[in-house]
Structures are given as structure tokens and as C-alpha cells.
Chains A and B, each alone.
Chain A
């Protein structure tokens, strides 16, 4: 995105940005406001039993703040103005604003690359990397590796209900640990070569597992699905429009499979009948690519519409399709006279 807009275009774009800023300013100053999140105080109690020490029970109490729609706050205040069960949540409100501003920062890349976009991009990468690291430790290393090789300590200190490992899983995890260490030895140049053993194991296992399943599901089952009768008799006889209509999909599938295979058959020159068939194969491929493109557009628009909905509904409070604030269209825009 290196092209620079011409000066009249810059003016138009500046007007658009100012219009967005004006909408935000108006929503903040007039009507029912915007971008507030509420939470409900829930007191939790639980009895904790440990598989490591059967018979021992202890009670645990804690407080959770559950996100609730603004209408819950309104109802709670109307019922009891002094209530403290539902409150404005500073943390949830900050999260809402951060999400909205990061969404706008990412969208700003459509205009051109800029520091706000780069900041948002860096945050996404950093948070993702950290999250995957945490997931790796708590969902793989601790329950699977530590749970198998140091079960007593893991159950006593981290996961009380972790089932006891079988001898089979302990042997399996010992091998996995050894292979993991071999992979990490890549960081030591003197013995780094041994890491290829672990890599060879991974490649071999993956290939072996995938070949069998792919042959079953993508070759044999698909070949069976292609072997359809070319004539599907319908009610009313063989030579009716209904029979023709019912048979058409099967005929098209068989023609498509044969012609696409012909297109990818390079041992014979694509001339004459073979050339015609391969051209029909190209047509089928083009239709497939078009369908894939159409579905991709639909998917991307769905994601875009979700973000726009978030900005207009959760942040700006311009619409209320889920009836979380119970306001009609006019009230959402101009306000209800300070109900909040």
C-alpha cells in the first residue's frame, strides 16, 4: 500500500476520520453514552477432593465478577438503588475500549501502514506467542508429561483429579521426553546432529498415520462416491424429465472426474478428444476456484460484519439487536434522558 492519495482525496479521508471522531464524541456526550461494561458479583463455594489423598476434603470460597448486559444494571438499580451486586466494571470497560481501539488500529492499515497498526500487530503477535507458551505448559507438559512421570507430585500440587498413569503411558512419555531432549540438542552445535533422529521419528509417524487415513477417506471412499449409476430412474418412467433431472448430478460428477483427471494427464499431447476433455476439465476447475473464492468472500465478510457489529453495538451503543439495553432505535441514537 505505497500509493499516496492525491490532495483532494486526503481532504475527503480527513472528513471521514473527523466524522467518525464526531460520532464517538457525540455518543460520549449525549444520549445514553457508550462503551460501558457491567459485571455481577457472584460468590462461589466448592468442595475440593484430591485423588492423591482420598478422603480429604476442603471448602474453597471465592468471588467471581461475571459480565452482564447493561439492562441487568438498570433493573438492579430500579429494584434497589443501593444495590452493589451489579456494578460498572472498570476492568471489563477498559477491555472493551482496548478491543475497540485495537480493531480501529488494525482497520487503519487499509488506509496505509502506520504506527497504530504496527502497535496492534505487535500486541497480537506477543499475546499469541505468550498464550501458546502457557497452553503448551499447562495442557501438554504438566498433565501429560509431569502427570505420567511425576504423578504423585503433580496430583498433590497442581491437578488433584489427575488419573493415575498406566505403565504404557509412562513408557510412552519417557520416549517422548527423550525425543524432546534430542530435539533441543540442536541448540548445542557439537551434538546437534542427533536432533535429526527425533525429526525422523516425527516425519515417519506422521507420514504413516496420514497415508492410511488419506487412502481410506480421500481415495477409496471418494472413488466409491464417484461410482454412481448414470441413470437414476424417477417416478413416472425412465424417459421423463424427472429421471433426467435426477440423473444429471451423477452424470456431471462422472464427466467432471474423468475430464479433470485428463487435464492432469501429461503423458499424451492434449489434442483432439483428449484436448477437448482437458478443456472441459479446466472449466470444472475454474468453477471450483470460483466457488472457493465465493465462499472465502462470504467468510471474510462474516468476520468483518462481526467486528462492525461489535463497534456499533458493544462500543458505540448505536444499535441493540440483542436487546441488551432494551432501547428502541430512536432512544439508542438520542438517548432516554439519563436513565443510566
Chain B
């Protein structure tokens, strides 16, 4: 700060404002909507973008019984953004009757897969069998080297499941020799290794024959947008993408005209479908996003006002 030019009035107070008040305002902007939405159990409406619709279409268009590879490359540090994506991808695959092979290149990814299996498959699709309809192959160390191995020999990269069963005779992997034998690669990615590396080492090497969709953190989203729609068929960017995808699945499930298309509880029993609150998690998290973003916009505007007021005061002192 050159010179002793000080801004007076309200802008002067803002100029000297202790940053801790900003932190407190952010805490209130986030906690307020969580409290309100937690007590009322309401969510905000979502308008899905093309990238999110493309993810929905990619899973939807596969023939029933297709085998989908779900790579959960994240850990609890980014679960706030990515867990709803993983939950909804698994739920969508289960509703469509696809087989699910879960893998992870992150050490804690295996536990994140277990949580998703408990939350979605065991709770709402108890008829699905481990090893036949879904399997958790857990974490495999080696980053890009694992990706290179699965290009030619999938079972060599994952010789056992997370619980220690040999993959050689696993029913779900019959007919799977290499990663190109999967109908779709769905990557949920928090960083390295993740969606970017799957594009670089697997999708490119497969000559575009392996369709891939990705759900990633907000930090990664700008890095992955150049790959859409050429190398990636669909992209869920941050919690907003998760909320859009969740709303698309919910709208599809709640439409009685679609009941024949999915294999969920409602279709089996003929009862009207009621959405469990766990399938509104991403949309519920858009409430605090709204509060925090409004605050950010106000702070940016105020910061600019203070900046221009400072410049004017400095010019006045100089004159």
C-alpha cells in the first residue's frame, strides 16, 4: 500500500475488516441452508447441462446386462463432492440391470467402494449377487502401470478381489480379457491418478473404442472439459454435476412410464416409488453452494468497490 490514502465511511470499514468476519460469514452462508434444508428436507430444482445428460445417456443406452467398469479414484478427503456421483452411477447401473466391476487406484478407494455397495446395492438391490452381478476388486498399486496392464490383461492387474477371491474364475469377469471388453468405463476421480490418466493411457490407446464417462472434483473439471465430447462421452463437474445427474435419474425413476425400463423395488412390487433421502444428497448440497456463491459474489463486488475507492483516495492525496 503506497501512501497514506485511507478510504472513509462504510467502504473504509470494509477496507480494514478483519478477515475472520469473512470466514464467519462463509460459515453462516453454508450452515444456514444446511439447517433449513435438513429440517425441511427440501431441495433446489436442477437444470441438467449437456455434459451431465451425456453421462445419463451413456449408461442408459447400454443394453441390459452390459458390464461396466467403475473406477473409484478418490478418498474421504473428496467424498463430499464425489461420493454422490459414485452412489448415483452405481444406482443407475443397478437400475438398468448392468453388471458392475469396481476398481480403485487410490488406497482408500476400496473402502469408498464398500460404502457405496452397502448404501446402494445391499440396501436397495439385495437380489444382486457378489461376484455375479457386481464385484469390488479394491485398490491396486501402480498408477499408470496398472492402466497399461489392463489394456492387454485385466485379470493380471487385478488377480484377486478386495476380499481375496481369485478373479480368474469369477462369473462376472467371464468374457473379460482386457479393458476394451467392458461396455463402459465410468471414472470417479479426485486427482492423480484419475480421469485424466484414464483418458491418456487407456481411452487414447483403445483408439476411441472404449466409451468413458467421468465424474470429477471442481478443481479437475477445467482440465477435463477439453476431452468432452471427443474423448469423454459425458462429464459430471463437481457437486453441481452430481446434483444434475441425480435429478436426471430421479426424474426417470419417478416417471411411471419408465417403470418397465428399470429393475428397482417399485417396479418389482408395483408400489409407487418413494425416493429415499440418500438419493437426494447431491441436490441437498446445492443449498449451501447457493449461499456460499451469493456471498462470494457480494464479497467480490465489495472488494472491487473498495479497490476503486482506494485508487480515488490515492489520486486525491497525490493531487
Contact surface of A with B, Cβ cutoff 8 Å: 3, 5-6, 9, 13, 16, 51, 110-111, 131-132, 135-136, 139-140, 143-144, 159-163, 209, 213-214, 216-218, 221-222, 224-225, 288, 291-292, 295-309, 312-313, 318-323, 329, 332
Kindly state the separation between the CA atoms of A150 and B97 in the bound complex, as whole angstroms. Answer: 42
- Contact pattern, B 71-115, Cβ under 8 Å of A = 1, otherwise 0: 000000111110000000000000000000000000100000000
Interface-side segment among B61-69, B129-137, B231-239? B231-239
Picked from A131, A160, A319, the residue with its CB within 8 Å of the CB of B39 is A319
For B290, the closest partner residue in chain A by CB is A301
The 4 closest A-B pairs by CB, nearest first: A319-B38, A299-B218, A306-B80, A295-B218
**Interfacial chain A residues near B240, Cβ < 8 Å:** 298
Contact surface of B with A, Cβ cutoff 8 Å: 18-20, 23-24, 26-27, 30-31, 34-35, 37-41, 77-81, 107, 139-141, 144, 148, 159-160, 164-166, 168, 199-201, 203-205, 217-219, 221-222, 226-227, 230-231, 237-240, 276-278, 280-281, 284-285, 288-289, 292-293, 296
B166 touches A302 (CB 8 A): no
A205, chain B: closest CB distance, angstroms:
9
**Interfacial chain B residues near A5, Cβ < 8 Å:** 18, 20
A192, chain B: closest CB distance, angstroms:
27
Picked from B31, B199, B289, the residue with its CB within 8 Å of the CB of A308 is B31
**Interfacial chain A residues near B18, Cβ < 8 Å:** 3, 5-6, 9
**Interfacial chain B residues near A16, Cβ < 8 Å:** 24
Kindly state the separation between the CA atoms of A304 and B34 in the bound complex, as whole angstroms. Answer: 11
Picked from A163, A214, A308, the residue with its CB within 8 Å of the CB of B288 is A308
A213 touches B201 (CB 8 A): yes
**Interfacial chain A residues near B227, Cβ < 8 Å:** 217
B38 touches A298 (CB 8 A): no
Main secondary structure of the interface of B (DSSP, over half): helix
Kindly state the separation between the CA atoms of A136 and B277 in the bound complex, as whole angstroms. Answer: 38
A111 touches B39 (CB 8 A): no
A313 touches B292 (CB 8 A): no
**Interfacial chain A residues near B205, Cβ < 8 Å:** 213, 216
A221 touches B230 (CB 8 A): yes
**Interfacial chain B residues near A140, Cβ < 8 Å:** 141
Kindly state the separation between the CA atoms of A214 and B258 in the bound complex, as whole angstroms. Answer: 42
Picked from B222, B281, B289, the residue with its CB within 8 Å of the CB of A292 is B222
A301 touches B159 (CB 8 A): no
For B231, the closest partner residue in chain A by CB is A221
Picked from B199, B238, B292, the residue with its CB within 8 Å of the CB of A295 is B238
A214 touches B238 (CB 8 A): no
A302 touches B81 (CB 8 A): yes
A139 touches B141 (CB 8 A): yes
B164 touches A329 (CB 8 A): no
**A111-B20, A295-B238, A323-B277 known; A302 and B80 CB under 8 Å?**
yes
- Given A139-B140, A225-B226, 14 more contacts at CB 8 Å? A51-B166, A144-B141, A159-B160, A217-B199, A217-B227, A291-B222, A295-B237, A295-B238, A297-B292, A298-B293, A302-B81, A302-B285, A308-B27, A308-B31
